[in-house]
Amino acid sequence: MRVAITRTQIATAVAAVLSAATMAPALAKDSGKPAVEVGPRAEGVYATGDFHNHTTCSDGSISMQKLIKKVTDKQDTPWGLDWFVQAGHGGNGNRNCTLVEDASLSSEPYPFVQGQGPTTTWANSIGAAAVKGNTGSSDGSSTTPLSSQASPSMWRWQSLQELQYPVAEYLSGQKNLPVFVGMESVVAGHEHTSMSVVSGQVVGKNGAVGPGSYVPVGDANALAQWSYCFDRGDTDNSRGGANNWDCSVPGIDYSTNPDWKPNAAKLFPAGGVGSGVRGHNKTVDALKWMASYHPYTSYYVPAHLERAGPFNPDGNNGFNIEHLRNFNNAAPKVAFGFESQPGHGASDNRGEYSPDRNSIGGVRVDSVGGTTWGGTGVYAGQVGGVWDALLGEGRNWWFFASSDWHNRGSFSADDRRSTQDFYPGEYQRDFVMVRKTSRDKGGPAAPQEIVDGLRSGNSFAASGQLIDRLAFVACSDSRFKGDEGAAELEAIALEAAKNGTEVNINANCAVMGEKLKINNNDDVLVTVVVRDPSGTNYSPYTFPNPSLLQISKTQPLNQPVLDHFDVIGGLVTGMVKPGLATYSGQWPDNWVDNPDMSTVPAGAKNTSAGVVKTFGNGTWTTDGDYKVASFRLSGVKATQYLRLRGSNLPASVPYETDADGNPLADIYTNASDPSKLRIPCTTQLTTQIPANTVYTGTSIDGCPAHLARFPAVTGQQYVSYDVAAWSDLWFYSNPIFIEVKNGTIVANVK
């Protein structure tokens, strides 16, 4: 039963818990070990960040300096992040992203050079002779130096090691923020993964600064080596020149493997039949390498993993559930989640997911799920789907979101409108628990501490600033009995949410990414506090949300309101062993036309998963911007998990949510096929924005001109592009596990 709480109860409960709370002291960071050891939690806060984005060193549109300024400043742009990983594609690129666009970005070590900028080639900036490595070939046979080309592309390993890392270290020191480098790997056997190896990377230090140069304190040598060794796009065989890298993996004998090329000291999986399988095997070896050499300083998170379609055994496409299991089995401390809420949220195909996106064996295949569902891929967006199947094994497999920033599509990078991407932090952001270790000493969090936070699973993701605080906790009922116990825990959780931290008390409780151990038949009290921030978000649109106007609800796009959140739960039945029929399973390719869970293979779903509770007006209590809710699980006899999702959209919004509040296919707001558009945008602009104007304001009061029209003869605008994204907001939390004594063990979670 829900219990109303009074201010007196809150004050009494908070005073009691603060006197009893025990906060573990931060442990000194040791090389090769997490900054925070297993045990009582060190104090920390939820810090916002992004780890998947692009500059001109890959296929982005702006410099590193401009991107980092855009996403960390709170002056020119308001969405400053707390931490940032700059990560472009693996492989190579021929533009110098360390050159700035204009004098406003100039610094002593990286001055603006008239006539040059981030689209300048390496040949026209540092000179072709400075580009290292060989031209590359699919079998690693080429020995032609890149420097012999007139305008060579640079291997990512060199740009990371010698050029991009120093910029990140310099700017992190200037800003006193954790800014470091990662990569969106081009994955052997698959599509893309957001990853990094942060060994050697430092934050908050000051290297040698001089006119036109910066000599860093740290390095990205480990990440650069990984890029050379394991990125599918890197076909260099130079061993990194003077680096003399060896890509062998401890415990693996490559002497009889035909894919191993001794001259390159790395694997070159042959193309053709079976190339996807061979590529996947190389990627599993890459994870074993990370687990062997950098077990706590690396992460590997498949990116927009539904986008390229299902796995292709003869090529490089998507990921089936068995590949995620293989990754997690090989390196559970490294491969611990997926990016199932992709970037490209303002694209004509949201997330760049679409039906008939790729061809496998001459057959056209959809992105898995056919499109996104409320901006989230089907693997996480479908209750009872792939994510629930992995959680149902008790795996440490977490949910993440990213911007995948490249450009604004038809608009300038400085425009607030977009037909392609949002900046990191502008629309999506990950809220990750970062423990107070380096920050206790007055400095910013170190890369290690960010990786520890990602690995912990103590995180949540939100789009459109729908929520910006969350306290989610499950406790044994032995302390929190009856209505008074519920009021006490709600008060504690409310205080934690107000402080931007988690519930951390001297009681048998667990938060996201943890497991609560209880006796059979115990009761469990679950409490959730979210902040739905008042005021405006970062949308430039002030007119009413067209999706909600369909149900006669007027709510400005830049002032979204959390309508409800769901508690989703499922049983944990234990790890599935490789080789069993339920270990593998390819998602059906016709999901948009037939979203029927009975067609999903047993290995890719969890039939026990479902919505346990839904809270909204009338079932939560409020304290200003905070929504507070509790419920009890009585007589718990089976190991299980709980996770959260919430939206600004109620159930039964046409073309957005079904009668149970689940997201519908975003195909109805994707401008790539105007014949499928269904939600009209009818609010007229009072002031037209002239063509070719860079709009930097925040008060567009009617449907912008770039929205799609169908049929063309009527001129009616329909919800699409960035308006579609700002209309349809969601948050997702990572799970809390509840492990029952003598029941199923949650093997991968502490």
Residues 537 and 635 in one domain: yes
Q: Is residue 632 part of a domain?
A: yes
Residues 431 and 564 in one domain: no
Q: Positive or negative CA dihedral for 410, 412, 415, 420?
A: positive
DSSP 602-651: GGG--TT-EEEEEEEBTTBEEETTEEEEEEEEEEE-S-EEEEEEEESS-T
**For range 494-506, the mean pLDDT:** 96
Burial class of 139 by CB neighbour count within 10 A (0 to 12, 13 to 18, 19+): middle
In the chain, what percentage of residues exceed pLDDT 90?
90
Cα of 382 vs its chain's centroid, Å:
17
pLDDT of 700 reads: 98
pLDDT of 561 reads: 98
Q: How does residue 713 score in pLDDT terms, banded at 50, 70 and 90?
A: low
Q: How does residue 1 score in pLDDT terms, banded at 50, 70 and 90?
A: very low
Q: What is the pLDDT of residues 164-177, one digit of tens each?
A: 999 999 999 999 99
Residues 554 and 418 in one domain: no
Residues 538 and 654 in one domain: yes
DSSP 523-578: EEEEEEEEE---S--S-SB-SB-HHHHTTT---BTTS----EEEEEEEE---PPPT
Q: Is residue 379 part of a domain?
A: no
Q: Would you state the torsion angle of the CA atoms of residues 494, 500, 504, 505, taken in this order, to the nearest 10 degrees?
A: -40
pLDDT of 150 reads: 97
For residue 711, pLDDT beyond 90: no
Q: Is residue 220 part of a domain?
A: yes
Q: Which two tokens stand for residue 402?
A: 């990213």
Count of domains observed in the chain = 2
pLDDT of 115 reads: 96
Which residues have a Cβ under 8 Å from the Cβ of 536 and sit 6 or more positions away?
556, 558, 559, 698
pTM: 0.94
Residues 87 and 194 in one domain: yes
Considering only 64-73, 250-259, 310-319, 439-448, which range has the smallest mean pLDDT? 439-448
Residues 458 and 515 in one domain: no
For residue 444, pLDDT beyond 90: no
Q: What is the pLDDT of residues 348-405, one digit of tens each?
A: 999 999 999 999 999 999 999 999 999 999 999 999 999 999 999 999 999 999 999 9
Q: Is residue 164 part of a domain?
A: yes
What mean pLDDT is reported for the chain?
A: 93
Residues 453 and 545 in one domain: no
Q: How does residue 74 score in pLDDT terms, banded at 50, 70 and 90?
A: confident
Residues 709 and 625 in one domain: yes
Residues 553 and 638 in one domain: yes
- C-alpha closest to that of 155 among 71, 86, 224, 64: 224
pLDDT of 78 reads: 87
Q: Is residue 310 part of a domain?
A: no
Considering only 4-13, 160-169, 359-368, 733-742, which range has the smallest mean pLDDT? 4-13
Domain that holds residue 426: 44-113+156-238+269-303+402-463
| Phi, psi dihedrals of residue 194, rounded to the nearest 5° | -85, 125
Residues 227 and 80 in one domain: yes
pLDDT of 689 reads: 95
- C-alpha closest to that of 431 among 81, 47, 43: 47
**For range 696-706, the mean pLDDT:** 96
Residues 432 and 547 in one domain: no
**How many other CB atoms are found less than 10 A from the CB of residue 301?**
24
Q: Is residue 22 part of a domain?
A: no
Pairing of the two strands 192-197 and 260-261: unpaired
Q: Is residue 88 part of a domain?
A: yes
**For range 716-723, the mean pLDDT:** 97
Residues 525 and 456 in one domain: no
Q: What is the pLDDT of residues 665-677, one digit of tens each?
A: 999 999 999 999 9
Last residue of a domain, one of 426, 442, 463: 463
pLDDT of 443 reads: 77
Structure-token match 């700035």, residue found? 100
Q: Is residue 534 part of a domain?
A: yes
For residue 253, pLDDT beyond 60: yes
Q: What is the pLDDT of residues 559-612, one digit of tens each?
A: 999 999 999 999 999 999 999 999 999 999 999 999 999 999 999 999 999 999
Which residues have a Cβ under 8 Å from the Cβ of 441 and sit 6 or more positions away?
none
Q: What is the pLDDT of residues 102-122, one digit of tens each?
A: 999 999 999 999 999 999 999
Pairing of the two strands 337-341 and 298-302: unpaired
